[in-house]
Amino acid sequence: MSKIMSKNTLTVSLLAVLMAAPVYAGSVNKSIKISAGSTADGATSVNGSVTVGEGAIVTGDVSTVNGTIRIYDDARVGDVSTVNGALRVSSGVSAENLSTVNGSIRVDENVTIDGWIEAVNGSIGVRKGSKVAKSVSNVNGEIELVASEVRGDLSTVNGDIELSEGAILHGDIIVEKPDGWKFGFWKPRAPNIVIGPDSRVLGKIRLQREVKLYISDTAEVGGVEGVMSMSDAIRFSGTRP
């Protein structure tokens, strides 16, 4: 199944779950705030933002349909999901999965994600010392790992990818071929894939479409497969190509 098909399924699933979920705090059409240091069973809204305060513990899920979710320092939460909105996860947070359909995801330093991070239309950034147990993926938008670690795959269709400051990916980088009709002489933009200094891709870079591939002289990559090979990579020295 293609990435685009799987993302459409994600959209429908998120909407169904969020609309059916009980509201643990606040009103369906208002924003929800869980106070710093407090404990809650969960937090669910439909047309409102959700904020989890510093050091709070949420034993259930945190979700909304139309709104941004902010999880502050050292909080503990379950799944975090929205449909139309961004996710902001501060330092020291522990969470299960992070997902959005239309919005960016920002993960600060020393965060632990026990599952996956997934977006459809939005960038994803994971900062220093953070660890993701499974995959990181989107369709459209940049994915950036900075001195962080992902134990699964990293995948996109149209987004740029960058590993920097010694980031480690245990799985593969996968760039999927876009679906849909192509009209006239229009040609989709080639994503930029940058493997920066001291970063490691322990799996392979698997390419179903052509990209601009840059690999640092001090980076480690397990190989390049698909429509390109390692000989197509542009090697560079310094911080960036």
Which whole number is the average pLDDT over 25-32? 71
Which whole number is the average pLDDT over 135-147? 97
17 pLDDT above the threshold of 70: no
Instruction: Judge contact between 61 and 21, C-beta under 8 A.
Output: yes
Query: Which tens digit of pLDDT belongs to each residue from 219-238?
Result: 999 999 999 999 999 999 99
pLDDT at 163: 98
Percent of the chain with pLDDT over 90: 82
Instruction: Judge contact between 176 and 156, C-beta under 8 A.
Output: yes
| Chain centroid offset of residue 162 CA | 13
Rg value, the chain, Cα:
18
pTM (predicted TM-score): 0.88
Query: Which tens digit of pLDDT belongs to each residue from 172-192?
Result: 999 999 876 555 555 778 999
Sketch the domain layout of the chain as residue ranges.
Answer: 1-107+128-140
Which whole number is the average pLDDT over 125-147? 98
Mean pLDDT of the chain: 90
Label residue 147 by pLDDT band (50, 70, 90): very high
